[in-house]
Amino acid sequence: MTARRNMLIYILLLIAIGLTVTGEVLLKLGMNTVRADVGAFNASLPVLLRTFTEWRVVLGFVLIFSGALFWLGVISRADFSFAYPLLALSYVIALLPAHFVIGERVTLNRIIGAFVVVIGAVIIGWEQK
Taking only the tens place, the pLDDT of each residue in 93-111 is: 999 999 999 999 999 999 9
The Cα–Cα gap between 32 and 105 comes to: 16
- DSSP code string of 79-108: -HHHHHHHTTHHHHHHHHHHHHTS-----H
Asked whether 83 and 76 are in contact (CB, 8 A), the reply is no
Is residue 121's pLDDT more than 90? no
Taking only the tens place, the pLDDT of each residue in 12-32 is: 999 999 999 999 999 999 999
Domain spans in the chain, listed from the N-terminal domain onward: 3-128
User: In 3D, which of 73, 61, 58 has the Cα closest to residue 15?
Assistant: 73
Is residue 115's pLDDT more than 70? yes
Q: What is the pLDDT of residue 3?
A: 83
* 47/8: higher pLDDT: 8
Asked whether 47 and 92 are in contact (CB, 8 A), the reply is no
Asked whether 16 and 71 are in contact (CB, 8 A), the reply is yes
Taking only the tens place, the pLDDT of each residue in 35-91 is: 877 665 666 788 888 888 999 999 999 999 999 999 999 999 999 988 998 898 999
